[in-house]
Structure 1
């Protein structure tokens, strides 16, 4: 009987960006809508604030992810360039260094040396990039992918409370947007946890808690400034 393991580490890059984008989309837009509504604004003002928040938030998420992951990519490329130069200048030293890494992981010295020699004969730079620097193909930084997933999922997440604000009467808006957004967040946390192989309940609770806190604080600010106005 064949045994096949399903690993999820290759999902880390896009999954993190997608979950972060959707979470921020729901939380920031729902909180913005609730805060403005709590200040006794008109429905037109609430919708305008929500749409502006959606557009600004999506672009901010895309730019932030791209810049952040690009910086990570620049650092990785700099390390790879340095390693490539070291291999060109002192191949034997690099071979000893790689053998020592394998020895520290539990191989006996002779086997560690043999493994290092064979791996470096096949792909010296790849071996050092993976085992010395710790950069793998699956975990490499991908700025464009991160920006795309983050902005796209932010837009989807933000659209949910915004649509509710469009159809729900003013007197019920805060309760409906808050309750539905918390439900959306719980579902998002559960899906993200399942995709990442984590505990579904914990994933749902931690996302919902912070989302609920953000909405409560924003509602409080809206109430205070609504009274002052």
Structure 2
């Protein structure tokens, strides 16, 4: 039976791979949520100052592009830094395995003992793991890194860009498409529904209670729209 296979012969998802997929999905939900809130606050604020459809579209598109590019650039830099650190750690581990394999075997044995195995069992497990793939064994047990699963910064940047854009399109379309008399109402309702959904999903993915997460998410979005609308209204009345 392989390490990732259930007793009945069916493959089970690797814990690390599952955790990575959940992290990606959680990041996508949060990115979409950011797109909804930031763009909604922007277009509602502009709506408080002017009813011009072209002004609303211009502001919304500018916010969408600026936000999505900022998210993508930030994610690219962050993931690139993490990837460089992981590659450096793997290079160090590879050198240590080449220069002093016995000391690395002792170290792996101690790490497995720290996870609850007896010394004889830990020693045998360390020996077998080292014979199979020494670098992978040390990377996963000692460093918590999957050597074949390093995150691609371009993928991360693209995912952040798409998630933010998808979220930002909702308030942009909601404020621009309806007749002027219903723009604000349609936008507020659409945004609150979207924030309810993303709040529920983020809680579900994190294993947290859904109701507090939904209330925080929708409440924060409502507050952001209220503040920006009031600011826009005041600035519009002042002729700024």
- TM over 0.5, yes or no? yes
The answer for the alignment partner of 1:157 in structure 2 is 167
Using the TM superposition, give the Cα deviation of residue 202 of structure 1 relative to its aligned residue in structure 2, in angstroms: 4.4
**Counterpart selection for 1:124 from 122, 131, 134:** 134
Q: How far apart are the structure 1 equivalents of 2:108 and 2:150?
A: 21
Q: Does residue 51 in structure 1 map to residue 68 in structure 2? A: no
Where do residues 16-31 of structure 1 align in structure 2 (5 Å cutoff)? 16-31=26-41
User: CA offsets per residue over residues 61-95 of structure 1, 9 Å max, x none?
Assistant: 21111111111111111111111111111111111
- Counterpart contact for 1:36–1:46, Cα < 8 Å: yes
Q: Which moved more, 1:25-34 or 1:212-221?
A: 212-221
TM-score by length of 1: 0.88
The answer for the alignment partner of 1:95 in structure 2 is 105
Q: How far apart are the structure 1 equivalents of 2:147 and 2:38?
A: 33
The answer for the alignment partner of 2:43 in structure 1 is 33
Q: Which moved more, 1:164-173 or 1:198-207?
A: 198-207
Distance 1:192 1:135, change over 3 A: same
Q: How far apart are the structure 2 equivalents of 1:73 and 1:134?
A: 13
Number of aligned residues: 229
CA RMSD after TM alignment: 2.5
Q: Which moved more, 1:50-59 or 1:164-173?
A: 164-173
User: CA offsets per residue over residues 12-37 of structure 1, 9 Å max, x none?
Assistant: 34213311221111111111001111
TM-score by length of 2: 0.84
**Counterpart selection for 1:144 from 154, 162, 171:** 154
- Counterpart contact for 1:39–1:222, Cα < 8 Å: yes
Q: Secondary structure at the match of 2:151?
A: coil
Q: Which moved more, 1:208-217 or 1:138-147?
A: 138-147
User: CA offsets per residue over residues 41-65 of structure 1, 9 Å max, x none?
Assistant: 5222111100111122222221111
Q: How far apart are the structure 2 equivalents of 1:157 and 1:71?
A: 27
Q: Which runs of 5+ in 2 are unaligned?
A: 1-6
Q: How far apart are the structure 2 equivalents of 1:199 and 1:146?
A: 28
Q: Which runs of 5+ in 1 are unaligned?
A: none
Q: Which moved more, 1:1-10 or 1:107-116?
A: 1-10
- Counterpart contact for 1:17–1:146, Cα < 8 Å: no
Using the TM superposition, give the Cα deviation of residue 163 of structure 1 relative to its aligned residue in structure 2, in angstroms: 1.0
Using the TM superposition, give the Cα deviation of residue 194 of structure 1 relative to its aligned residue in structure 2, in angstroms: 4.0
The answer for the alignment partner of 1:189 in structure 2 is 199
- Counterpart contact for 2:94–2:135, Cα < 8 Å: yes
User: CA offsets per residue over residues 120-154 of structure 1, 9 Å max, x none?
Assistant: 11111001100101113697423222212211121
Q: How far apart are the structure 2 equivalents of 1:5 and 1:204?
A: 32
Higher relative contact order (CA 8 A, sep 6+): 1
